Amino acid sequence: MTGRESITPPHRYRDNDKAVGIGNAFWDMSERNGLAGIVAELDDGLLRTADGHEFVNFTCCSYLDLDSHPEVIEGAVAALRRFGVLDHCIPRSRVQIPALLELEASLGELWDADVVSAISAGVASAGLLPLVASGHLGDGTRPLMVFDKYCHVSMANAKPACADETEVVTCAHHDLGFLEDMCKRYERVCYVVDGADSLGGYAPVKELNDLQDRYGLLVYFDDSHSVSAYGERGMGYVRENSRLQDARTVTVATLNKAFGTSGAAIVLDGFDKSVLRVIERFAGALSYSQPMNTAAVGASLASAAIHRTPELVTRQTRLAANIELFDSLVRTAQSGAEFPIRVVPMGDDAVIDAGRRVFEAGFYVSPVFFPIVPRGTAGLRVMMRAGQTVDQIRSLCRVLVEVGADAVTLADEVPGGVLR
């Protein structure tokens, strides 16, 4: 048109045309139907829109409701008053106030690990994965980086940077056979995968342990959906189930979900102090002067304190009971599993209307449908929390069944479960 050069993109690891094309149609459709773009004030566990509609959030990842715990909020306030700044802007490798160190020491003690903080799990992965790729978080050998096809986009987005430091491939979901083949072929391999999936399900931690033992496989987990909600002192699914706690495993986890605050933790074992300094100095944004702010640090210290008390177990137990109650009323492919996420199947043409009716009845569940999932797999995603009441869950399930969910009947009653 202008006679000037246009560009053909390589699209080896990403394609915005596709992502935006597919995703935007989904979001526009959701928003047109009032199921996205919702603004609401949070008040005593309920959300209220400007026009007065009240609803319970069944798509919030604060699985233990620690986000609104008074001690968490007061911890944030106390830290603001103590440190007198949200941030005193200078790279921590030069000069730092003790805030991050105190948090890292507390989380390190809590989970018996070396912990490095980050402002988000995404920032942690964007910084760490290229260092893993270049061998700086291993024995110096550049690993083949194998990304699980369904790993969270915050990890998948690091593929191009990793591909400039080593080779990168994508494997089918939890494809242990492929991983073993790669381990036989390459000097070193790193597998990048979610510890707990955002659509429910866990990584095959024990089977991965075997590959780690036999081939020195390095595994990079994002365990954001299970930390706090799962395991002793909320150490998460990966740490609770892995028998290897050494430099063959790297785990990152957000503190925004069940932990209830803001920020992220990188959980490490068995790395030399010198490697921990390399992370602090070279893992991307971890070296910039934008750390977790003091309010997030104070809230996280308070949440860590709660993690050391029986209250954590009480909340985990309540979450488990709520999940069990849900499963006793509505059948999903996830029924009986421990994780707090369920996808209630709906017809492709019915899912939007179903989501709208559930919302009108006072519950937000998030519809997923084509084009973000294949036709024939649409559904309403439900996230359980410790703080949802029995009444709320029963009412939600009643509405779900009315809009087409598969009710659990007497014949397939879950032992010990509750009937409709």
**Which of 368, 364, 349, 370 is CA-nearest to residue 399?**
364
Q: What angle do CA 194, 200, 205 make, to 5 degrees?
A: 45
- Least separation in angstroms between residue 219's CB and its own copies is 18
222: its two tokens = 């994002």
> Residue 216 or 417: which CB sits closer to its own copies?
216
- Least separation in angstroms between residue 41's CB and its own copies is 6
> Residue 77 or 172: which CB sits closer to its own copies?
77
> Residues 220, 193: contact at Cβ < 8 Å?
yes
> Residue 161 or 401: which CB sits closer to its own copies?
161
Strands 168-171 and 144-148: parallel
Residue 213 CB neighbours (<10 A):
12
**Which of 404, 363, 368 is CA-nearest to residue 384?**
363
**Cβ-proximal residues to 266 (8 Å cutoff; 6+ apart), any chain:** 115, 116, 117, 118, 124, 128, 250, 251, 252, 279
Q: Which residues of 357-385 are buried (b: 16+ CB within 10 A; e: fewer)?
A: bbbebbbbbbbbbbeebeeeebbbbbbbb
> Residues 188, 210: contact at Cβ < 8 Å?
no
The half-sphere exposure of 180 on its side-chain side, counting CA atoms within 13 A, is: 10
> Residue 173 or 277: which CB sits closer to its own copies?
277
The half-sphere exposure of 254 on its side-chain side, counting CA atoms within 13 A, is: 23
> Residue 185 or 375: which CB sits closer to its own copies?
185
> Residue 226 or 241: which CB sits closer to its own copies?
226
- Least separation in angstroms between residue 323's CB and its own copies is 18
62: amino acid identity, one letter: S
- Least separation in angstroms between residue 206's CB and its own copies is 25
> Residue 184 or 206: which CB sits closer to its own copies?
184
- Least separation in angstroms between residue 266's CB and its own copies is 15
- Least separation in angstroms between residue 170's CB and its own copies is 14
> Residue 23 or 374: which CB sits closer to its own copies?
23
> Residue 191 or 364: which CB sits closer to its own copies?
364
- Least separation in angstroms between residue 262's CB and its own copies is 4
Q: In the 8-state DSSP scheme, what is residue 352?
A: H
Separation of alpha carbons 340 and 285, rounded Å: 31
- Least separation in angstroms between residue 361's CB and its own copies is 16
- Least separation in angstroms between residue 388's CB and its own copies is 14
- Least separation in angstroms between residue 38's CB and its own copies is 4
> Residue 89 or 419: which CB sits closer to its own copies?
89
118: its two tokens = 């980050």
Residue 235 CB neighbours (<10 A):
24
17: its two tokens = 């045309």
407: its two tokens = 């009710």
> Residues 229, 198: contact at Cβ < 8 Å?
no
Placement of tokens 């061998």 in the chain: 135
